[in-house]
Every structure is written in C-alpha cells, then in structure tokens.
Structure 1
Amino acid sequence: MAKEMTIDLSKITLRPYKISYVDDFLMYGGDDKVTRFIIIVPKSGDDRCRADVGYALAAEYWGQGIAARAVKMAIAQGLKEFPDVVRFQALVELENNASQKVLEKLGFLKEGNHEEVCNTLDIS
C-alpha cells in the first residue's frame, strides 16, 4: 500500500525552470497520466488581454490542493507581470474531471464542450 503524503500548502513556491530540475521534470513528464504544465502565456496583438494557463503535477501529489494553490499563485504573478491581461483561459480534456474541478475552484467558467473544454477566468 502506498504511503500517503501530506503537503503543507503554505510551503509551495513558484520559480522558473532550471536545468538542474531535469530529473524531477522527467519523473512526472515521463508519466503518461501527467500532461499538464503550470505556465502563463500572454497573447500578443489584439489578443494581448488574454493569457493561456497550463499545469502539470506528478500523480503522487494529486488530490492535495497543490495544483489549485500553484495555479492561483501563477495567476497572481501573471497579473503583475502582464498588466494588460484581463482573461485567463485553460483547455482541459473532457475526461479530465480533476483539472476541471481545479479550475472551477479558482473561479474559471466552462465555455465549451467538444473534445476539450475551454475554461476562462475574467479579471474585470
């Protein structure tokens, strides 16, 4: 039986990727169940008021509130770094209920229902 981990959510920090993180990245990046990445990508031109959000978390840490905490922190940082952004959007595969719940918990709204669900958070 797997040992259950408890994570102190107040200890979560965001930082840029470094080459020294490669082993940790490969741990979850090589896991077929893990396909999400924490990232804020602002659009340009007429779409500069929008930013895409994506995230990943190793399966052993799922269900502990880590993704929600980290995405919330990333959005707060994104608002500081990209002041023109008023809308965050995230595409989630339809069967990925856990990610949809993470985004709903953060106030994102569903805006589609095809093979992927577009979730949006308007800041205005």
Structure 2
Amino acid sequence: MEQDAFDLAHISLRPLSLSDADDFMVWATDERVAKFCTWESSTSKDAAADYIQNNAKSCSLFQAICLGDRVIGFISVRSFEGNDEGRAKSAELGYVLGFKYWGKGIATKVVKQVVEMAFADLPDLERLEAVVDVENVASQRVLEKAGFRREGILRKFLFMKGKSRDMVMFSVISDEVGA
C-alpha cells in the first residue's frame, strides 16, 4: 500500500504487544519522531520491547495505531489515580505516529476515538489532558481538531533531552465529549 494511497477507514486500534517491536523500530528510531517525545529514539529491538512492556503496564489504555496489519504508532491514556489523590479523576493522553503518516488526519481520527473510549471505559474520569511542546504546532492542531481546549503555556515544564522545555496544556472535560 503506497504511503499516500490509503483511506482513514484502514486505520484501526488494537493492543500494542511485544510482537510489534519490529514495526515499532521503524518509527521509534526516527529522530523526527523522537524529537518531541520524552524518550530517546530506540536503537535496539530489546529497548523497543522493554518500552512496550513497561508502558503497557502503566497505562489505562495503550493501543497500537495500525494501517492494515502494520503498526504505525501508538496512543495511550495514563490515569493519575494512585499517583496523586487530588488528580484521581484526571488522565493524560499521549500519542506518537511514524513520520511518513504525519499530516494525513490519522492522529486526529485516533485521538477522537480514544477520547470517547477513555470516557466510556473509565467511568470516574472527568478530565483528559495532553501536554505538547510549544514547538510541536502540528500536534497542537491535532488536539484542537479533536475537541481539546488550549489552557495555556507551562513554562519550563519538562526537562527533556538536555534542556527545559515549555509545554502547552490542552484538556477535554467529560461533559464536552459528544456535545
């Protein structure tokens, strides 16, 4: 299937598993993809398998983004429950997509789908948030198209890859979904 010759109907979600490590390596080794991620680009299949296994355990939802039978990215929802009692009704959304699939509507489609899944599957969830690097304008657009509201800039919010990074906070509230 050509990279530009697909329709969004061929995009699906399923649990990400260790058997997806080869597909994971295709985009996880790409510096363009890793640039805005908290993790460094993966350099070995073992590192990819370790990342998949450890993150799947810590997330309420951890799904592969698939084009046909190929894993082209992943999306996750990590609950704050148990970490911070005051944030128990909140969770954080994260996603990553292979570079050659950027700008094709895939991320927007899966973010919308996962927002609905998260609020349906996590009955106590009231707030779903995402933080995005201020330089990652494309990801900010994805969240806005998916119904998230921009709340503001968190100055020097993360120390990542050797420097403090400003991040933009976005959120969607349960009663805004499907409205």
Does the 8 Å contact 2:3/2:101 carry over to 1? no
Does the 8 Å contact 2:129/2:171 carry over to 1? yes
Structure 1, 96-105 or 72-81: larger mean CA deviation: 72-81
1:42 to 60, 79, 83: 79
Q: Read off the aligned partner of 1:43 and give its amino acid letter.
A: F
- Name 2:30's counterpart in structure 1: 31
How much does 1:112 deviate? 1.8
Aligned length: 122
User: Gaps spanning 5+ residues in structure 2: where?
Assistant: 38-73, 156-165
Q: Read off the aligned partner of 1:117 and give its amino acid letter.
A: V
Deviations 1:56-110 (A, max 9, x none): 0000001100001111111121122211112110010001000000000011111
Q: Distance in 2 between matches of 1:46 and 1:85?
A: 13
1:59 to 96, 99, 117: 99
- Name 1:5's counterpart in structure 2: 4
After superposing on structure 2, the runs of 4+ consecutive aligned residues of structure 1 that deviate more than 2 Å are none
- More RCO (CA 8 Å, sep 6+): 1
1:69 and 2:109 aligned: yes
Higher alpha-carbon Rg: 2
What is the TM-score when the length of structure 1 is the normalising length? 0.90
Q: Distance in 2 between matches of 1:100 and 1:31?
A: 20
User: Gaps spanning 5+ residues in structure 1: where?
Assistant: none
How much does 1:4 deviate? 5.3
- Name 1:122's counterpart in structure 2: 173
RMSD: 1.5
Structure 1, 66-75 or 89-98: larger mean CA deviation: 66-75
Deviations 1:3-30 (A, max 9, x none): 7513311222111111111011111111
Q: Distance in 2 between matches of 1:56 and 1:84?
A: 26
What is the TM-score when the length of structure 2 is the normalising length? 0.64
How much does 1:54 deviate? 0.5
